[in-house]
Structure 1
């Protein structure tokens, strides 16, 4: 056997191994290039946030071309109503606060001066799995004087984590735990998945007892939680989270039981009682008290969501409206939270979200342009009322097709049939409202400041509700004592997402619903008081009545019962006012 033959044989045997090594090297280089391209793409959306005088700072991320951006509440609250924001193009932009979530530690701000900002794509944080790669980006320690964000990579270490409140409000529920390096100054910055989609906002870290260096446990607020609050925040609100109006405990076999419940809560009115087993909430199974708190914490007050409970071995499903977690006065607490809860000796704990980065950053001295000053309107209960006004006008465009009712005063008369083939006659004048319906007549006086009543009885105040509709169509929002944009929510807890307007007048509170997909006016709920079931009206069809568009079929529901479905056959309205 010659040496030449041996060499040929060895070469033949090693060839597959060499080919495999070359292929592996190629795959590694491709993965590296893909990672670099993702980072380069998303870096354009990362924001370095400073107060107007350069005192302090943090991070954020753009989420729309018109300049809306996300950050932490504890970052923006230290920066004032107007702030400075740097992007990786090296430019500094003015920005204004829009809305804040003191409980969830989220803020929305708006960068000014462009309508073509680069922005991140919102991902689905529920699709994350432990072990997935993530990238954290921001401006830790305010190192990037040219606003080029720092990038760190790591994996998802845990999901659905709960972080206790810092101070009296800040509470991280259902958050994402990562080993991706997050340090002071990263707060408010984005957490991206491997595809470059925004899946979280970085907020808290676990630190060494001495010093403030991340030890490998960072926490991000899930983007899916933020999506629930986003329209409320863009409406300029100081938003609040929700409570069921009930407490829970762990029972035998580790099931979750209702421990106590407020009798004035919607959950109680829907039939939930002490010792009922909580099976599922908002479509997610409940296996522990901690899991229940995690799920409840990601929803805004006022939302209606499905709940499944078991009593005497039988499952029942209801839809419950969530109550406010805090009193309005509690949301006015100082921005700086209290120190973190002390940890057991020798253990490391989560850092309180305070003191981000160095004390100051050197920024160019630029005066805020006068045209921007109008973009902040101070009003009690709002972070910035200007943006609520903008959302009011946007949603009201859903009434454009009903503009022919403007200033049509006098008596309205509607006739038709119910789906049960009952004849009805509805009259609405300036002095009284009346409904003739077999076995369910109703009369509501309007003179001399008469209180609105549950007329017809059992409807939740149908006549009062229809009077609100007439006022809205003929007079517009100016006729109400209070008018505001609430945010968005799923209609009736399970339906399509709707924008919500709120009006108050004469002791009646009404929520008006407009489908987000196409701005269609789909119905409204009117309540005669606090903690009472509303009269719920849903439009099924619109018709043409003497050249005017009006609901020709609508349902009325009160509490757990359907009151009626009306088919309007004729409608007469007074002459336009002169």
Structure 2
């Protein structure tokens, strides 16, 4: 039986056979066939949950997340997957955070949070809630919901600390969108998204999108998007909201990669390495030419190595750097404590190189 209340038809195939028994000087006797066995009736489909039941079941398997970045912070939501606190959320919820906590709205318990891995390209992060035990866990879908199916988005809407439900339907599968990060204005392309008309709001990011039976089908991710170079203001387009979720199967792929302990080109496993620079892509008439440093953090590896504002990083750990993405990808494959060689060009055009050791830093 599926986790979404679908029924399984069990068909019993009764084979009818004749058994011939013979003996010398005895007439042949034919054993009558067995009586046919009727196939069992399929079980009736599970009834969908009432709204109150859906809220109660889902509230018990989510946490509200506060990710602090110095004096500022971001509110989001997480989906509890294991009784000892393995939790999913969006990468953009925890990116750049120096301190992360989670609160169970069902119990009021507060947990320190460690980020054990993430995939920026799919906007998924895997968390571990400190000292968690005996937590209720979410039921996860084995197949995506059909277009037109009812779904409900749950999350810490507007960072209010209360789990809010936003009902809607599935509009489409496999949508590609460019989303704008509300914290820094950067844009990111997300592929294979599940589109809904649930009114997802800031703070809902990382929360569960569930079907009528309370089974998680996706991770709420975006309600403000750009498409075809046309900005969509807020979460509404036309008469109905427009929102997107990462299908739960995609999120679980990231989880399994993180659990394997081996990173990939897109999935970072373990603590995040820290170089200590903020960069932008340096461009010229001939194209992208490196990662230009906008500022250097005091007392960071980059600071002690002599990198300065206005310099352009052109090679990192033996890999050419032509853009910010190149540098981010190269960093994502490393860990704190790794020693790397950095090559850069200063504002006078002079070339430099040095070896440095990466430190532990916030999720990138």
The whole-number CA distance in structure 2 between the counterparts of 1:157 and 1:124 is 19
The whole-number CA distance in structure 2 between the counterparts of 1:169 and 1:102 is 12
SS of the aligned residue for 1:55 comes to strand
Q: For residues 383-402 of structure 1, what are the structure 2 equivalents within 5 Å?
A: none
Contact preservation (8 Å) 2:76, 2:205: yes
Contact preservation (8 Å) 2:84, 2:131: no
Query: Is 1:45 paired with 2:70?
Result: no
- Cα distance change, pair 109–157 in 1 and its aligned pair in 2 (3 A): same
Which of 160, 174, 194 is equivalent to 2:174? 160
The whole-number CA distance in structure 2 between the counterparts of 1:50 and 1:125 is 31
CA drift at 1:330? 3.5
Q: For residues 243-322 of structure 1, what are the structure 2 equivalents within 5 Å?
A: none
The whole-number CA distance in structure 1 between the counterparts of 2:172 and 2:81 is 25
Contact preservation (8 Å) 1:233, 1:239: no
SS of the aligned residue for 2:255 comes to helix
Query: Is 1:102 paired with 2:120?
Result: yes
CA drift at 1:205? 1.6
CA-to-aligned-CA distance 1:518-577 (integer Å, 9 cap, x gap): xxxxxxxxxxxxxxxxxxxxxxxxxxxxxxxxxxxxxxxxxxxxxxxxxxxxxxxxxxxx
Query: Is 1:182 paired with 2:180?
Result: no
Contact preservation (8 Å) 1:104, 1:172: yes
Q: Which residue of 1 aligns with 2:234?
A: 212
The whole-number CA distance in structure 2 between the counterparts of 1:96 and 1:224 is 23
CA drift at 1:124? 2.5
CA drift at 1:211? 5.6
Contact preservation (8 Å) 2:199, 2:235: no
The whole-number CA distance in structure 1 between the counterparts of 2:223 and 2:338 is 33
The whole-number CA distance in structure 2 between the counterparts of 1:220 and 1:185 is 14
- TM-score between the two structures when normalised by the length of structure 1: 0.35
User: Relative to total residues, which structure has the larger helix share, 1 or 2?
Assistant: 1
- Cα distance change, pair 224–169 in 1 and its aligned pair in 2 (3 A): farther
Contact preservation (8 Å) 2:200, 2:243: yes
CA-to-aligned-CA distance 1:63-115 (integer Å, 9 cap, x gap): 111101111111111323x4100111122111111101011111001111222
CA drift at 1:175? 1.1
The whole-number CA distance in structure 2 between the counterparts of 1:164 and 1:65 is 34
Q: Which has the higher contact order (CA 8 A, sep 6+)?
A: 2
CA-to-aligned-CA distance 1:203-258 (integer Å, 9 cap, x gap): 1124696863444110000111122222212356664359xxxxxxxxxxxxxxxx
Unaligned runs of 5+ in 2: 1-45, 268-323, 340-364
The whole-number CA distance in structure 2 between the counterparts of 1:34 and 1:226 is 27
The whole-number CA distance in structure 2 between the counterparts of 1:236 and 1:36 is 39
Query: Is 1:62 paired with 2:80?
Result: yes
Alignment root-mean-square deviation, CA: 3.3
Q: Which residue of 1 aligns with 2:50?
A: 34
Q: Which residue of 1 aligns with 2:147?
A: 130
Contact preservation (8 Å) 1:192, 1:198: yes
SS of the aligned residue for 2:73 comes to coil
Aligned residue pairs total 222
- Cα distance change, pair 186–122 in 1 and its aligned pair in 2 (3 A): same
Which of 366, 372, 378 is equivalent to 2:336? 378
The whole-number CA distance in structure 2 between the counterparts of 1:214 and 1:46 is 25
Which of 187, 196, 199 is equivalent to 2:217? 199
The whole-number CA distance in structure 2 between the counterparts of 1:219 and 1:207 is 9
- Cα distance change, pair 69–91 in 1 and its aligned pair in 2 (3 A): same
CA-to-aligned-CA distance 1:407-459 (integer Å, 9 cap, x gap): xxxxxxxxxxxxxxxxxxxxxxxxxxxxxxxxxxxxxxxxxxxxxxxxxxxxx
Contact preservation (8 Å) 1:100, 1:107: yes
- Cα distance change, pair 59–238 in 1 and its aligned pair in 2 (3 A): farther
Which of 142, 163, 177 is equivalent to 1:149? 163
SS of the aligned residue for 1:122 comes to coil
Which of 240, 247, 255 is equivalent to 1:230? 255
The whole-number CA distance in structure 2 between the counterparts of 1:212 and 1:72 is 19
Unaligned runs of 5+ in 1: 1-29, 243-325, 335-376, 382-578
Q: Which residue of 2 aligns with 1:571?
A: none
Contact preservation (8 Å) 1:105, 1:171: no
Q: Which residue of 2 aligns with 1:112?
A: 130
The whole-number CA distance in structure 1 between the counterparts of 2:187 and 2:256 is 21
The whole-number CA distance in structure 2 between the counterparts of 1:191 and 1:331 is 30
CA drift at 1:125? 4.1
The whole-number CA distance in structure 1 between the counterparts of 2:84 and 2:266 is 27
The whole-number CA distance in structure 2 between the counterparts of 1:165 and 1:240 is 21
